[in-house]
Amino acid sequence: MTPRDEPDPNDRPPGGRWSDLDRPPLDAASLRRSLVREGGLWSSLDVVPVTGSTNTDLADRAAGLAEGAVLVAEEQRAGRGRLDRTWTAPPRSGLIVSVLLRPAEVPLERWGWLPLLTGVAVATGLSRTAGVDTALKWPNDLLVTVDGEERKAGGILAERAGPDGVVIGVGINVSLRADELPVPTAGSLALAGAVTTDRDPLLRAVLRSLEHWYGTWRAAGGDPAVSGLHDTYAAGCATLGRTVRAELPGDRSLVGEAVAVDGDGRLVLATAEGVQQPVGAGDIVHLRPV
């Protein structure tokens, strides 16, 4: 870098690339060198400064992309979670990434495991790199502990992209401070005591973990038992063993103890009437701690 290119916060507009030196931009070239390789899953990796939604952008371009395309945004202004909830955070305070997968070898009925697989991969990668104890809330929330309380620090959204593709988006709060949290029940890796909030190694760890789990699952034909995904997910799922309320489509709700995740990735609730009811879609509210 020449002297004329030195980043000077006083010469940059608010919100610019170097507006928060505690939150440096991702190094796209370095990420590509470490992740995009012949024979690997990741075929391309792009980092954009701002977008509406990485999932939408990647889905719109999916027809012209190979499997393993990765899109990362430093800021997302129209991010979507499940049930059309919004996901926003200050620039460069989190990881916002979407990937394109084409699991052609896997029967379509097993594709429902992809959000759960991604949860396992993200939790594993972050635990190893950030040193934060993470747990999964069915089906796709990442939980951390902040001041003794369970907080949501990340989420996953999977969407179809054409006849043979799936775009999976991951949003993770990395360095958000307490006064930046969107809601009181949110958390971040920093607030949970992470040993690092450097997003470059965190992103590499997440994508490498996802590559490993996706390859293992795909090689097993999507079988969650043979691939080890079922047992690993159950072991890290904070929902199991709790009394929960499932808020179901059509303004219905169901209360019961979460006793299992079945072979289709559905959450099985044991109700007070003695019935075991699988739940495949809906919002889960934890009513009782383990």
* Cα gap 77→130, rounded to integer Å: 26
Residue 159: pLDDT band with limits 50, 70, 90: very high
Q: What is the pLDDT of residue 80?
A: 55
Q: Given a cut of 70, is residue 14 above it in pLDDT?
A: no
Q: Which range, of 7-11, 17-21, 114-118, 239-243, averages the lowest pLDDT?
A: 7-11
Average pLDDT for 121-128: 97
% of the chain surpassing 70 pLDDT:
89
Residue 5: pLDDT band with limits 50, 70, 90: very low
Structural domains of the chain ordered from first start: 20-235 (3.30.930.10), 240-286 (2.30.30.100)
For tokens 């991010």, name the residue. 79
Q: Count Cβ atoms within 10 A of the Cβ of residue 214 and give its class: 0-12 exposed, 13-18 middle, 19 or more buried.
A: buried
Q: Given a cut of 70, is residue 6 above it in pLDDT?
A: no
Residue 137: pLDDT band with limits 50, 70, 90: very high
Report how far Cα 110 is from the mean position of its chain's Cα atoms: 19
Q: What is the pLDDT of residue 3?
A: 37
Average pLDDT for 90-97: 96
pTM confidence score: 0.90
Report residue 60: phi and psi, to 5°: -65, -30
Q: What is the pLDDT of residue 74?
A: 97
Q: Given a cut of 60, is residue 9 above it in pLDDT?
A: no
* Cα gap 175→178, rounded to integer Å: 10
Report residue 251: phi and psi, to 5°: 60, 35
User: Within the chain, what is the greatest distance between any pair of CA atoms?
Assistant: 73
Q: Is residue 80 within 8 Å of 59, Cβ to Cβ?
A: no
Q: Is residue 111 within 8 Å of 222, Cβ to Cβ?
A: yes
pLDDT in tens, 248-281: 888 899 999 999 999 999 999 999 999 999 999 8
Average pLDDT for 189-205: 98
Angle at the Cα of 137 (from 55 to 203), degrees rounded to 5?
45
Nearest C-alpha neighbor of 119 from the set 153, 72, 79: 153
* Cα gap 253→259, rounded to integer Å: 17
* Cα gap 96→89, rounded to integer Å: 10
Q: What is the pLDDT of residue 258?
A: 97
Average pLDDT for 39-62: 97
**Between 288 and 178, where is the model more confident?**
178
